Chain A
Amino acid sequence: MGNIFPRWTNLLAIKILVCLGALGTCAVALAWYSWTPKYTRVGYMPQQPIPFDHSLHAGRLGMDCRYCHTHVENSPHSNIPAAQVCWNCHGPGKVDSDAVALEPLRQAMDENYENYTGKPIEWVQLHKVPDYAHFSHQAHVNRGVSCVECHGRVDEMPVVYHAKPLSMSWCLDCHRSPEKVLRPLDQITNLDWKAEDLDSDAFYAYVAGKTQASAEDLKKADEGKAWNRELIGAHLRQAWGVQPPQDCAACHH
């Protein structure tokens, strides 16, 4: 009796499995690499109605973030400034008030301008958490988390782009070890702050004032340890009793 199936069919099942396996591996690799916020959100750089240059205002001019984002310390929402705030410096007779780029501002603010509409400037939002996650700026900036931890070096960005993924696992990284990002409260808007900038004597005195320990003891215990963000953060964490919530309802409520 002859063979019903030719010889090459012997390996067919294995070959199909290998091909499917390769296809599946590629699909997983694709999803792993490009279907996370690290790919889909980081680098988002929308065009704004006015090409506002943060590297000029917050960088070269050294303006504090809170000159414009005034309510970041008092509100869950960090506000985009009203056109009035731009108008403080770019109104008639002031800085670059005739610039072509400021056309939308004149439309919003200058009542004597022919194209005056009085409507707010429609800035494009780039940083956004899903509507079922509740993020509070107030809770973070008042507890030693700087703007730079989530928004990157905005003071070096001519056009602002999405610098960090803002994914849930990324949030949890900090919530599990906040000492990596904590810094003294007066340096929150100093995006270039480094551990070396901190006066260690004043810092130990501050921590000692918040905890029961004495400054000398704290200093002695730290001898030989590297003076870095994590060490400072660990002290601040203890001094303020920072315990970031990790339960679901902390953000999804």
Chain B
Amino acid sequence: MRWFFLILAIASITVALALGPRGEKFSSPPFMLFPDMDNQYKVKAQKPSQFFENGQGARKPVEGTIPFGHDLPGENLVGSRLDYSRGSDYYNTGLFGDYYGKGFPEELQWDEAFLARGKERYRITCTPCHGESGNGAGIVSKYWAIPPTANLLDPRVKDLPEGQLFWTITHGKGLMGPYNGILSVNDRWAVVAYLRGLQAASGN
């Protein structure tokens, strides 16, 4: 009996020391006691799949087809947050033929929510480089000596047509990358609208 409790005590302490307290950092995949159906053979978002040759679970649409819920040619999901359209009209490209268009497309819904959305998206997406006020002195310029970002309050930018601003957000310019995968079409127009507000407020 005495021996039993001695061995039990030693074993308990050994196990406790080996396991350590809760919340300790470790890098191996978490231990699972009953992994029954925790990891099912199904493709989830952004997961790999050995089934396909390139190892990616996500598939591109079959060529010549359009996934359900996406835009048909000539039909816009105006205002939708899932609108990353590939249409060819002014709303989707900022272009009339080969020229940048002036003014905002008529598809836009002008209300408070639209402008608030533009402000929010501008702060999330544009502020790191262009700064909260648009003067090009974002946080990035304080730490890194990369070529200066555009001062959006400059009269030069102020004179650019809306279509060109939209096109620049969509495709990038110079060192700026394209933002068409981050901002939906409607959000890009909302950002342009907010930017016009910033420019008007700056008084340049």
Residues of A within 8 A of B (CB): 15, 18-19, 22-23, 26, 30, 33-35, 37-47, 61-64, 66-67, 70, 73-77, 79-80, 82, 84-85, 87-89, 91, 93-96, 119-120, 122, 130-132, 161-162, 186
Contact = CB atoms under 8 A, between A and B. Distances in A.
Interface in B144-186: 144, 146-147, 175-179, 181-182
B8 A26 contact: yes
B128 A87 contact: no
B79 interface: no
- Using C-beta atoms within 8 Å of the partner chain, give the interface range for chain B: 35 or more
A25 to B, nearest CB: 10
Interface stretch (B37-45, B65-73, B86-94, B96-104): B37-45
Nearest to A33: B22
A114 to B, nearest CB: 21
Contact of A63 (B4, B15, B39, B128): B128
B38 A132 contact: yes
A94 B37 CA distance: 45
Interface of B: 1, 4-5, 8, 12, 15, 19, 22-27, 29-33, 37-40, 42, 44-46, 48, 54-56, 81-82, 120, 123-125, 128-129, 139-140, 143-144, 146-147, 175-179, 181-182
7 contacts: A66-B124, A67-B124, A74-B81, A79-B46, A88-B179, A93-B175, A132-B37
Contacts of B22: 33-34, 38-39, 42-43
A77 B44 CA distance: 9
A95 B23 CA distance: 34
Given A74-B81, A76-B45, 8 more contacts: A22-B4, A37-B30, A39-B19, A44-B30, A67-B125, A70-B182, A96-B144, A131-B40
